[in-house]
Amino acid sequence: MTGCAQLIDVVMLTKNSNRPWFRRVLAAIMREIPVHHFIVVDGYSTDGTVDVVKEFFGDKVIVIKTKAPLGCARYLGMRAVDTEWFAFIDSDVEVLPGWFKTVQKYMKHPRIYGVQGVYKGGVTSRHVQLVSSPRRCLSIKDVIKHGIVERYGADTAHVLLRRDVVRLINPAFLCQLECGEDAYIAWKIIEAGYIYVETSELQAIHYSSPEVVLLKALRRSFGYNGIFYGIPFHVYMISTAIRFLSHLLKRRWEFLVYLTNLIGGTVSFTKTVRLERLCREGV
């Protein structure tokens, strides 16, 4: 990409990510984003994932090897960033033309700390919407109608963040999360008085498979899950039950995700609340 004065780091979490779409993902990043460093946080891949990244980005690549949970992997990537802004791009997400050109206007706003896109064809309730924090504003009616993720969630599949975000989070909490770390990062931005936006101007293609989604649901249900951060347990369970019944009646395979969350919800909620309490106490 030419004509862009401001370079940014790109952080990608990988583990055996060399799937049929992986080269398209990397080619899109090379085409759309002015990369300073390409930071790969890799879970000891054995399928040549890191080698493929180096084919595209050469000496710009920084590799961090870890078997830590997802939240910790994101934290390690954030700590390695040395540009004012950086992007999290998932290994199965292809950013579409105009991605960085579009996001540049948000980078000029001093209070904006995060800009999140949607998947191809997706729209927000408005062209641009602010993601809310349950600690400030929790509408049970909205949660039941639209779901927790749609109303209060966040998604780091393709998102632009300020480097200063790393000082807003609690590493002891984030580094335990197997899932929901994206919501935690967004909510900490909001709680600090900054702005996190979701916009349908930024679009990407998601190539993930059902088995990956189900694995994520298992981690969410039985591990530490940041999506519970600030959400009352009964609200989460009511919302999840409604999502489960809706997908079951429509005969969509996604009902398995919500069934898993219902079964393991108590486990994850209990573990996460305990973790948050320990972090507040500095244990």
Q: CA of 102: how far to CAs of 75, 96, 98, 99, 199, in Å?
A: 26, 11, 6, 5, 10
Task: Specify whether the CB–CB gap between 113 and 164 falls below 8 A.
Answer: yes
CA–CA dist 44, 65 (Å, integer)? 6
| Enclosing domain of residue 192 | 8-208
Same-domain status, 72 and 130: yes
Looking at residue 141, its pLDDT comes to 77
Looking at residue 4, its pLDDT comes to 46
For the entire predicted model, the pTM comes to: 0.88
Q: Looking at 188, 208, 228, which one is the last position of a domain?
A: 208
- Summarize the confidence of residues 157-182 as an average pLDDT: 93
Categorise residue 121: left if φ over 0, alpha if ψ from -120 to 50, beta otherwise: left
Same-domain status, 97 and 173: yes
**Share above pLDDT 90 across residues of the chain, in percent, rounded to a whole number:** 60
Task: Specify whether the CB–CB gap between 146 and 187 falls below 8 A.
Answer: no
208-246, pLDDT tens digit by residue?
A: 778 888 888 888 889 898 877 777 888 888 888 998 999
Q: What's the CATH code of the domain at 119?
A: 3.90.550.10
Task: Specify whether the CB–CB gap between 162 and 110 falls below 8 A.
Answer: no
Same-domain status, 140 and 237: no
Same-domain status, 95 and 160: yes
Same-domain status, 244 and 106: no
Q: Looking at 185, 208, 231, which one is the last position of a domain?
A: 208
Same-domain status, 198 and 229: no
Same-domain status, 216 and 187: no
Task: Specify whether the CB–CB gap between 171 and 104 falls below 8 A.
Answer: no
Across 149-169, b (16+ Cβ under 10 Å) vs e yields bebbbbbbbbbbbbbebbebb
Strand partners of residue 128? 199
Rg (CA), the chain: 18
Looking at residue 2, its pLDDT comes to 44
Same-domain status, 143 and 174: yes
Instruction: Give the number of domains in the chain.
Output: 2
Same-domain status, 121 and 261: no
